[in-house]
Chains A and B, each alone.
Chain A
């Protein structure tokens, strides 16, 4: 099984390829992969081609970055009839791809979790990867409560408001990743994993530097611009018709392709960790504090995930304080800290909107609850700086960006990974459409179709999250009241609430805050409809942090 066949593939070619035929996940494979100096091929069926043509076969697609989004693309390609024949190379040096993580149910949950939206869940179901997620720890939630430190109001959301079973599901990132991988391994998809980093990428070699050798058609194709050439940190190089950059916010592919970006840093960090309660938590909780929101998300069993946004100095303090003090601070922040509990909705204020309430949403009658107490910390604490970045272009000839490589959003609402999954599935679909009409999959006109489709969805979400972050980064009396008034409408006006919950193509879950001071809302009632757009922006909720 693990024999290493060394042979000369092309005498004129500058490398001798060691072909190792093995299953990539076995321990032996991991050892031999470290030993093999040059190219490694995890071949299932393709080395026959190699010896026949006497040349290195170019790949159809090279996915740079085998994280959740990159693997989602691979999984979708592997399970779509029109794309399952493609030869795909995955370039990633992370150990998660080298040794399949063994996920044990008894282990405490990893702090890196994602809140996947119903849209993402249905993508996973379509590809058949969701069944693997279900074998591990995951927590659906159908309720969420959002409130404000000013104790002006609160909003509760219920999946039944939008006739859905769930509002979302919290899953550990490693579970999502390994589920996609397991699903790919069910198929006979021809993928090759390079445990290496990308160091160079050339798309248009200058004609003078390339000596076209007629015995090496791959080199010749590359020289004429019909293939991209990728150089890896272990000295290997490979050719592909299409290079997909799914290598995260600091994307090397984006850099090498020369795509410009627009963005800024928020002077905020997020602290994330896993905590344990004495009872099971079934609801997503989020409270807006002066420095940023804190969210408590159920992960299943008695565990929850904390995503706490704060300024960088605070975050380093909170990361290092003793566990007891941290737990105390979390409970404080989720309860009476910075202000009291909001009062339950007053009949007067609810009645005020009665003319607008076609049918009352179920959650409008639910009263304010206090989140379950945190009893202890169940993981290490991590802190990440928050920033916003958007690539001005997602695609050019033979290069395309997906996920964080194309856009990083404020991690409010955990929309980042959902946008990334949206990118992956859209790209897979567009590649299939291209194949249906016999197009070269690296053709810019095809890739621009993907760009046009995803840019709109991504930028809308980015604008919402950024606007939201800005609305909350100012603690100024009149603005707080205005903000709260806008949210007040969100809680009581059913149509508005529904449109907020199901706003975006991914079924983004949102919530609003309400306030109960009559005099202010009275004055603002007339303006409520004008503020609808405002409300939409501001009432996006924090759901989780993704990595």
Chain B
């Protein structure tokens, strides 16, 4: 187990050459060229890469991953667009967060704003599709994302509704928040860890952001054959739910690996659940099956 994990981490730290990076981006750009929503942003991409390159100096982020998301950031709130799978999955993952956080913080799950009084950080908030529901549920939300374009989209969208306009959005990273000594009751990073270069470092940063006794919620994709078949082959190549190249199987973590690296960051995983998609109803539901998508809730030592 430990060996496997070590080799995994070594693999993550391999530097990806700029050429390869650039090549990927071009592929992504041409892929979307025919999509009307993205026509505008294709010209911006080149500027964006330039802008992002000097910015991303932190160790836990992959530069080309940022460019990938910047290219489609305009479509975050298009529920039929590239982020459709996230929109569809969102209620299910929020149901998990709601029940675990209500239990942990002894909040009433039958009220409309159970998170009243909680400070929550949404790391890798993207266009804010998790931050906004958390704010509607009463939390004081800070959303951070390394892609400036995402933050702009998130800000504009959140201002539409007085309930979500209170969200604080920052174009920054978890590491920088740690440097600023920010602390939160709950730290949430959904579908982020598979896009970072150093998951162990990333988890340490998340742990540093939580108050002692605070909560951490992470979700990602398992490195299983089934995940390769569904999350990459089916979702990206056959169903075109996700842009090709969204995920790399080798970047995925197994639940055991995640539990281990969280433990090393002094976060004890208390609950874990899987998401399963039913092609018949087109909906996701929580289950015990963690073979593809899974979510983990942990608490930080110290109380």
Per-residue CB contact flags for chain B residues 71-112 toward chain A (1 = under 8 Å, else 0) read 000000001000000011011001100100000000000111
B-side contacts of A435, CB under 8 Å: 112, 136
Q: Which of B94, B111, B135 contacts A82 (CB 8 A)?
A: B111
Per-residue CB contact flags for chain B residues 147-163 toward chain A (1 = under 8 Å, else 0) read 00000000000011110
Q: Using A82-B110, A82-B111, A83-B112 as known contacts, say yes or no to A438 and B136 having CB atoms under 8 A apart.
A: yes
**For the complex, is B132 an interface residue (Cβ under 8 Å from A)?**
yes
Q: Using A81-B110, A437-B133, A438-B132 as known contacts, say yes or no to A221 and B161 having CB atoms under 8 A apart.
A: yes
**For the complex, is A376 an interface residue (Cβ under 8 Å from B)?**
no
Contact assessment for B112 and A224 in the assembled complex, using a CB-CB cutoff below 8 Å = no
Interface residues of A in 37-94 (CB under 8 A from B): 53, 81-83, 85
B-side contacts of A142, CB under 8 Å: none
Contact assessment for B111 and A81 in the assembled complex, using a CB-CB cutoff below 8 Å = yes
Contact assessment for A438 and B79 in the assembled complex, using a CB-CB cutoff below 8 Å = no
A-side contacts of B134, CB under 8 Å: 438
**For the complex, is A444 an interface residue (Cβ under 8 Å from B)?**
yes
Q: Using A445-B87, A445-B88 as known contacts, say yes or no to A440 and B111 having CB atoms under 8 A apart.
A: no
**For the complex, is A6 an interface residue (Cβ under 8 Å from B)?**
no
**Most A CB within 10 A of own CB, among B79, B91, B132, B161:** B91
Q: Which residue of B lies closest to A217 (CB)?
A: B162
Q: Using A221-B161, A444-B79 as known contacts, say yes or no to A437 and B94 having CB atoms under 8 A apart.
A: yes
Q: Which residue of B lies closest to A436 (CB)?
A: B98
Q: Which of B95, B111, B162 contacts A437 (CB 8 A)?
A: B95
Contact assessment for A226 and B161 in the assembled complex, using a CB-CB cutoff below 8 Å = yes
Contact assessment for A439 and B91 in the assembled complex, using a CB-CB cutoff below 8 Å = yes
**For the complex, is B273 an interface residue (Cβ under 8 Å from A)?**
no
**For the complex, is B48 an interface residue (Cβ under 8 Å from A)?**
no
Q: Using A82-B110, A82-B112, A83-B112 as known contacts, say yes or no to A440 and B91 having CB atoms under 8 A apart.
A: no
**For the complex, is B137 an interface residue (Cβ under 8 Å from A)?**
yes
B-side contacts of A217, CB under 8 Å: 159, 162, 165
A-side contacts of B137, CB under 8 Å: 438
Q: Using A437-B90, A437-B94 as known contacts, say yes or no to A221 and B160 having CB atoms under 8 A apart.
A: yes
B-side contacts of A439, CB under 8 Å: 91, 133, 136
Q: Which residue of A lies closest to B131 (CB)?
A: A438
A318 to B114, CA, bound (A): 60
Interface residues of A in 398-435 (CB under 8 A from B): 433-435
Contact assessment for A438 and B87 in the assembled complex, using a CB-CB cutoff below 8 Å = no
A83 to B112, CA, bound (A): 7
Per-residue CB contact flags for chain A residues 427-469 toward chain B (1 = under 8 Å, else 0) read 0000001111111100111000000000000000000000000
A-side contacts of B160, CB under 8 Å: 220-221, 224, 226
A217 to B163, CA, bound (A): 12
Q: How far is the CB of A205 from chain B (nearest CB, A)?
A: 14
In this complex, how many residues of chain A approach chain B with their Cβ under 8 Å: the count is 21
A224 to B161, CA, bound (A): 10
Q: How far is the CB of B125 from chain A (nearest CB, A)?
A: 14
A-side contacts of B94, CB under 8 Å: 437-438
Contact assessment for A445 and B111 in the assembled complex, using a CB-CB cutoff below 8 Å = no
A452 to B11, CA, bound (A): 46
Q: How far is the CB of A126 from chain B (nearest CB, A)?
A: 15
A438 to B161, CA, bound (A): 12
B-side contacts of A443, CB under 8 Å: 79
**Most B CB within 10 A of own CB, among A221, A224, A435, A438:** A438
A415 to B44, CA, bound (A): 58
Contact assessment for A440 and B112 in the assembled complex, using a CB-CB cutoff below 8 Å = no
A445 to B88, CA, bound (A): 8
Contact assessment for A445 and B133 in the assembled complex, using a CB-CB cutoff below 8 Å = no
Q: Which residue of A lies closest to B96 (CB)?
A: A437
A436 to B165, CA, bound (A): 19
B-side contacts of A226, CB under 8 Å: 160-161
Q: Which residue of A lies closest to B161 (CB)?
A: A226
A477 to B132, CA, bound (A): 66
A85 to B116, CA, bound (A): 14
Q: Which residue of A lies closest to B110 (CB)?
A: A81
Q: How far is the CB of B111 from chain A (nearest CB, A)?
A: 6
Contact assessment for A437 and B112 in the assembled complex, using a CB-CB cutoff below 8 Å = no
Contact assessment for B91 and A437 in the assembled complex, using a CB-CB cutoff below 8 Å = yes
Contact assessment for A85 and B112 in the assembled complex, using a CB-CB cutoff below 8 Å = yes
A-side contacts of B159, CB under 8 Å: 217, 220
Known: A81-B111, A221-B160. 15 other contacts (CB 8 A): A53-B162, A81-B110, A82-B111, A82-B112, A217-B165, A226-B160, A226-B161, A434-B91, A436-B95, A437-B91, A437-B95, A438-B137, A439-B133, A440-B161, A444-B79
B residues near A (Cβ < 8 Å) are 79, 87-88, 90-91, 94-95, 98, 110-112, 132-137, 159-162, 165
A residues near B (Cβ < 8 Å) are 53, 81-83, 85, 217, 220-221, 224, 226, 433-440, 443-445
24 contacts between A and B (CB under 8 A): A53-B162, A81-B110, A82-B110, A85-B112, A217-B159, A217-B165, A220-B159, A220-B160, A221-B160, A221-B161, A224-B160, A226-B161, A436-B95, A437-B90, A437-B91, A437-B95, A438-B94, A438-B133, A438-B135, A439-B91, A440-B136, A440-B161, A444-B79, A445-B79
**9 smallest A-B Cβ distances: which pairs?**
A438-B133, A226-B160, A438-B136, A437-B94, A437-B91, A81-B110, A438-B137, A221-B160, A85-B112
